[in-house]
Structure 1
């Protein structure tokens, strides 16, 4: 079974990449996001710091937030292939694979609709992200919530997923409901960033071959308590050969209400280490809500609670995060306000490695479609956080970080 799942994942994304390089019949779309940023913040996590936002005092004020190209092709009437390649000014490399998958979606013969995917892709776990668009990016803001910032960095399905949806129109009902089941390899290090760096508020999406540098904390130095841990985290490595899974349910009533729940477990062996990467047994429960009461109002909420473990209780912590977002049309565009809360709470055997943190953030954004292909977005972001580990690298545990970001997005 394990060999089959690995083959599905590798076959899916490798087949799509091969097709991407040669197919002329594909539909190609792209996104170029140019940023102007002013930030007052500590050294960013993108530069091996313990800051919470993507940009800091030394960041370039003008740059490319992201450049994405997506190709889609219908291989048969029911089988399609998609690939998403991305690059940005902070990418460690030039171009990387964000997603690549095969999808089988036969026509329903009754009220039940089946869809299956195989490859490397995001699980359906966010309501602020544009899944149908070119890239896995937030629609109403520039930054993502803490929950979706983490999902974009450390989690990806490298395997197979099945979605089964009951279509209400076949029985005269005004609602649909469904079940999602996924199984994957390659998320064994998931939880490392939450433990040793903490939550972030960002829209930086990791590619398949990404390597993220951790801050220079004493615990994983050569003379530290965990010297076998590399400072470079490779989020999508397979370490122990055990598949993980997620299972979820959803309910949708037209465009008015959307509800979803999900349980995730990577089933990693926390005692296995390979090439400087430990297995982290990471599990969480997740719930989301979208409510559109009318009058142009839109309310979004997500909540997550989970735990992660590495070694014989060497690092163990619970993590929590939630946010609420409200948006409404104002003038020619849409105004959005998002409030986040996040925390980690440790309960391990290494008091010399403090991983507790708590924080909150507020984002105010305005998106303005200039024409069919160009959108201007502006965001004010403030993050207030407390993290004891900062004192170990001569920083104040409490930090308040702010940024003002303008984004010109060109869809082509």
Structure 2
């Protein structure tokens, strides 16, 4: 049974009360897919991509309804609902938050944000657009695929930004900090299923089913662990935090760094969900030189721990993306590299992984509200745990996807 925290329930009720005053926008994404991938992680498999060889050729990639409301001159609210054919709850809450943005008295602009929302951890996502979707590709990088499924801020975030134009400086600087609850199972999917390269985003009440590995079967070493994972659950009653900084020179150069730690108690377990102590650092850069090129790079390194060293994992990933206008649209290429290394007390539960992915994409605007995007994706990975499911540890997965996106 899924429970809703009182603050989040109150936020939803408040947002519903403001619904008539909100400005509503939407996104419908229809997909055509051809894939030779093995059983997808969304079907409890070890595949790295959202679609596999048995996926429907035509589907709704996602449908998003996004509402913004100005409650006062300085307080606003946002509610985003989402649905797709592979979502167990069909319609779910992707984000719901209130923001207080007081009128700046000087160079510093501040904002306080409270609710359920994405942390500021991505350079390939357009935060001003709908649905937390990548700007230049259909799939997200491995880093942002993981964030989309297992990470969300359920708490309060404070940010401040010094605008250079007020102090005759050619650059802006900013800082951000947050405290949150929930996110205690964060790390579960990364440890037992591994990295993925996908655009599938979890909702507030979503569940994801793990592969049928021996370690958490009824006769396994960790029988209290369920295969159904609720990524945003609160298990141990502790608060987590993140803090970061950013720097930009106009739109030419953007730099950012962030440290995340959920401060979870790895010995806590509740309703089949363990609390995983997960922490990471990430840094990113976006450079837009002359000639309309955009070059982006992001790297992440961290670790996660569950139980008395029952599962202990170091993880890292990075990607580089380049895009440039071509013809009537924009072409992009992205290279991903990902890796995990286990160092726990259960050698019969291997969680090591190496892999990389290459995505080639082209976005073609058809009108102000309609666009057509195509993507060829290749993912090659080596994961020893596949042997436990009678699969080859090394796999190469390919897919070609065409996405017709209607924004209204």
Question: Aligning the two structures, in what range does the TM-score lie when normalised by the shorter sequence?
Answer: over 0.9
Post-superposition offset of 1:73: 0.3
- Residue of structure 2 aligned with 1:114, choices 98, 106, 110: 110
CA–CA distance in structure 2, aligned partners of residues 318 and 231 of structure 1: 22
Runs of 4+ in 1 over 2 A off after TM superposition: 9-23
CA–CA distance in structure 2, aligned partners of residues 108 and 270 of structure 1: 42
Residue of structure 2 equivalent to 1:326? 322
Say if 2:123 is the partner of 1:124.
no
CA–CA distance in structure 2, aligned partners of residues 12 and 228 of structure 1: 28
CA–CA distance in structure 2, aligned partners of residues 20 and 336 of structure 1: 39
Say if 2:79 is the partner of 1:83.
yes
CA–CA distance in structure 1, aligned partners of residues 8 and 68 of structure 2: 14
Say if 2:40 is the partner of 1:44.
yes
What do the CA deviations read for 1:279-312 (whole angstroms, capped 9, x no partner)?
1000100000000011010000000000000000
- Preserved CA contact (<8 Å) 2:126 2:133: yes
Residues 2-401 of structure 1 aligned to structure 2 (within 5 Å): 10-11=6-7, 14-20=10-16, 23-401=19-397
Post-superposition offset of 1:12: 5.6
Post-superposition offset of 1:19: 2.7
CA–CA distance in structure 1, aligned partners of residues 357 and 13 of structure 2: 38
Post-superposition offset of 1:24: 1.4
CA–CA distance in structure 2, aligned partners of residues 287 and 17 of structure 1: 36
- Preserved CA contact (<8 Å) 2:15 2:79: no
- Preserved CA contact (<8 Å) 2:286 2:294: yes
Post-superposition offset of 1:18: 4.0
- Preserved CA contact (<8 Å) 2:15 2:78: no
RMSD of aligned residue pairs (Cα, Å): 1.1
- Preserved CA contact (<8 Å) 1:20 1:71: no
Residue of structure 2 equivalent to 1:4? none
The change in CA–CA distance for 1:12 and 1:279 in structure 2 (over 3 A counts) is closer
- Preserved CA contact (<8 Å) 1:10 1:119: no
Post-superposition offset of 1:10: 4.8
CA–CA distance in structure 1, aligned partners of residues 14 and 55 of structure 2: 36
CA–CA distance in structure 2, aligned partners of residues 391 and 94 of structure 1: 33
Q: How many residues align?
A: 405
TM-score by length of 1: 0.97
CA–CA distance in structure 2, aligned partners of residues 20 and 134 of structure 1: 19
Determine helix, strand or coil for the equivalent of 1:304.
Answer: strand
CA–CA distance in structure 2, aligned partners of residues 17 and 38 of structure 1: 42
- In structure 1, stretches of 5+ residues that fail to align are 1-6
Determine helix, strand or coil for the equivalent of 1:251.
Answer: strand
CA–CA distance in structure 1, aligned partners of residues 403 and 347 of structure 2: 42
Post-superposition offset of 1:22: 5.7
